[in-house]
Amino acid sequence: MPPPSPASALTEDEILFRDNLRQFAEEKLRPLVRPMDEKGMFDEDLLREFFQLGLMGIEIPEELGGGGGKFFESILAVEELSRIDASAGVIVDVQNTLVNNALLRWANDEQKKRYLPRMASNTCGAYALSEAGSGSDAFALQTRAELIGSGYVLNGRKLWITNAKEAGVFILFATVDASAGYKGITAFIVEKDFSGFRVGKKEDKLGIRASSTCELILEDCRVPGENVLGEVGKGYKIAIETLNEGRIGIGAQMAGLARGAWEYAANYARERKQFGKAISDFQAVQFQLAQMATEIEAARLLVYNTARMKDAGMPFVKEAAMTKLFCSQVAERVTSLAIEIYGGYGFTKDYPVEKFWRDSKIGKIYEGTSNMQLATIAKLVLGGK
């Protein structure tokens, strides 16, 4: 039994989309969650089904092979998949809110015709910004791009790149002029089979283990000049604006996994007997579950409101930062309490809630740490530099 749902926030078509996806996730995704987590690998057949269902190209126009949907539908998909497995949620999230959105907004017509049909049908994407020395200080990146003839030669390394193992196309950031600071940063569309490009070590992670996180190695990687995304020197703008959208997706991922953990905890509380009655009959447990459900509801409505603002063309930077900050906090609190409701069982891998807790931790780290979200919020609510 799920917690109360903000059904009034959804249209009939959105409810149908959500319900169909929920059924798919229950039938096809849930049986694979534990083996994928243990192996640290995403199921290839399941990823193919994501493409067949149109989940990897939700906003891509129909004439380019996509679903022609809205950003809000991408957010619903991330939430529903994450309710079952946050690794599945983030694969769809990165594809839609980062890679596809960057191409839709910044690619020229030729690039859209070349890449968007692939992204909708069979090609996974990744977003390569982070490096060993540039995390929160993203524009301290050291990857270099040198113009030679009609193309560029890229050298450097990227770290912690989500979807890297599965991806065939990367939105990758490098600087064409280190002396220009952030104004030298440029975005490139890099294909996996480009000369001088390879995917390196896959990280052994605490959570979202089925989602690949790898380093990228560029050694005289040759990228055609026509694969510059947007304008030379404008990569910083692409990175900032795309990540603002991506933070809504992470909020949806965190709200979804919090819901999944709550459902397990509530059902267990009804079944677990102590002192002759279900532990859900004890007021202390009731209050915990009630508090958890309230915070989940608030998180979901924050996600939905911010996604609606994005679709409406309204400014949403502050709300996106609030969404990621709050939803990641709720996810960590809810999943931790879910383990406590399970007691000793919750601390073992034989029961599902410990995985939700492991998966929740990344929400405060990637696509902008909680401190960076607070800095953004403070700047926008208080004013100043």
* Positions marked catalytic: 367
**What contacts 361, CB < 8 A, 6 or more positions away?**
206, 207, 332
Q: Give the Å distances, CA to CA, from 162 to 91, 177, 213.
A: 8, 26, 5
- Other CB atoms within 10 A of residue 48 CB: 12
**Torsion angle in degrees (nearest 10) through CA of 247, 249, 251, 254:** -130
Dist CA 45 CA 31 (whole Å): 13
Place of tokens 């939803």: 327
Q: Give the Å distances, CA to CA, from 21 to 45, 67, 136, 304.
A: 17, 14, 34, 17
CB-based burial of residue 11 (10 Å sphere; 0-12 exposed, 13-18 middle, 19+ buried)? exposed
